[in-house]
Amino acid sequence: MKTIDDLDVAGQRVFVRADLNVPLSGATITDDGRIRAVAPTIAKLAQSGAKVIVASHLGRPKGAPDPQFSLAPVARRLAEILGRDVAFAADTVGEDAQATVAALGDGQVALLENLRFNPGETSKDDAERGAFADALAALADLYVGDGFGAVHRKHASVYDLPARLPHAAGQLIATEVGVLKRLTEDVARPYAVVLGGSKVSDKLGVIENLLGKADRILIGGGMVFTFLKAKGYEVGSSLLQEDQIPVVQDYLERAEKAGVEFVLPVDVAVSGSFPDVKTGAPVEDFEVVAADAMPDGKLGLDIGPESGRLFAAKLADAATVFWNGPMGVFEHPAFAEGTKAVAQGLLDSSAFTVVGGGDSAAAVRTLGFDEAKFGHISTGGGASLEYLEGKTLPGLAALED
């Protein structure tokens, strides 16, 4: 896979597929981590004299312009981070995009409007996707893929466009792939994996693949209640995927035979209802109960304090740790302690630590941890998981020669 160091970009129109899919509250960006992650690639290209055309998706518009998903706020923040002007095109391949790109001088940067405002970006029809890729290719001379959070999607700007232009990986994707290889090839052991989040079905593929690779798998978040139910425990009104119980039981049995340790919570923080994460209002019926003694009608919303200490102890001697998914509803102070305990456990270990994107990365920033103290914080939760599942990611395959 070539990198931007292999390209002669001076005076060239360079199309950078970034992942600027940031969370917004109105027009306010609440977490700019993905913008900051791709900024070094954009800055390097601009400093090398390229005419940089940045493109991304944001949210899930239905193939047509939708003001709530406009990248205009992102253009403003990107300009602040880069310390240079960023022209903004009000469409993707239309008259404004063409005029904006034509006006770029060497070392200047433009951002196109949301790629998903065009139905060709996400179309399952090869011809429709290809037509959009052709229109994007007409804007540029070179392609740089640096949107790691989208490389598991077979979308026009991710998969089809690189085939139409000389291409290379940006600095972010090169870093992400290097990190993921450290999690899959010649892994330093003990290798511990922490998985959380809401649904166990979202993690089945990665658990399947890790049964032969990880030494220890720690389970928290909403998905843990399917594991607890599989062990015969009652889980009250907690999130439960009953159809996955046989699969989970099979994993637990296979793990025991393979010598892979599954670590489940021994206590759980519960409430009678889901908390108000917007106001952070106190939870009057908050209590901590044993994992095998959850009361009827109560929701498990975080691992308990004893579990937090247990998880930290299981990470203390690890040489490699991959973490994907919060331990609870970390957005509310009452149910953030489990996620804090895991984050601190990663920092206290001497392991190479990888925070696997998505909600885990958001939790690290929201809870005030220093990102620089982790080995790596990924920008792509879904992409990271699919890589660990052993799947071929279309956006990475498209960058290989």
Q: How far apart are CA 200 and CA 385, in angstroms?
A: 13
Is 358 annotated to bind a ligand? Reply is yes
Contact 267, 319 (CB under 8 A): no
Is 331 annotated to bind a ligand? Reply is yes
Is 95 annotated to bind a ligand? Reply is no
DSSP state letter for 79:
H
Is 21 annotated to bind a ligand? Reply is yes
Phi and psi for 77 in degrees, rounded to 5? -70, -40
Is 58 annotated to bind a ligand? Reply is yes
Q: Which of 397, 371, 400, 401 has its CA nearest to residue 152?
A: 397
Find the catalytic residue in 34, 51, 129, 298: 34
Active site residue 34: yes
Is 357 annotated to bind a ligand? Reply is yes
Contact 190, 317 (CB under 8 A): yes
**Residue 195 in 3-state DSSP?**
strand
Is 34 annotated to bind a ligand? Reply is yes
Distance of CA 113 to the CA centre of its chain: 22
Active site residue 164: no
Contact 33, 83 (CB under 8 A): no
Q: How far apart are CA 179 and CA 353, in angstroms?
A: 10
**Residue 302 in 3-state DSSP?**
strand
Active site residue 358: yes
CB burial of 215-249 (b: ≥16 within 10 Å; e: otherwise) equals bbbbbbbbbbbbbbbbeebebbbbbbbeebbebbb
Find the catalytic residue in 130, 170, 236, 382: 382
Active site residue 105: no
Find the catalytic residue in 2, 199, 231, 309: 199
Is 77 annotated to bind a ligand? Reply is no
Is 60 annotated to bind a ligand? Reply is yes
Is 59 annotated to bind a ligand? Reply is yes
Is 120 annotated to bind a ligand? Reply is no
Find the catalytic residue in 222, 358, 380, 395: 358
Question: How many residues are recorded in the chain?
Answer: 401
DSSP state letter for 202:
G
Q: How far apart are CA 220 and CA 132, in angstroms?
A: 42
Which residues make up each annotated binding site for substrate? 19-21, 34, 57-60, 116, 153
What is the set of active-site residues? 34, 199, 358, 382
Binding residues for (2R)-3-phosphoglycerate: 34, 116, 153
Residues belonging to the binding site are 19-21, 34, 57-60, 116, 153, 203, 300, 331, 357-360
Binding-site residues for ATP, in ranges, read 203, 300, 331, 357-360
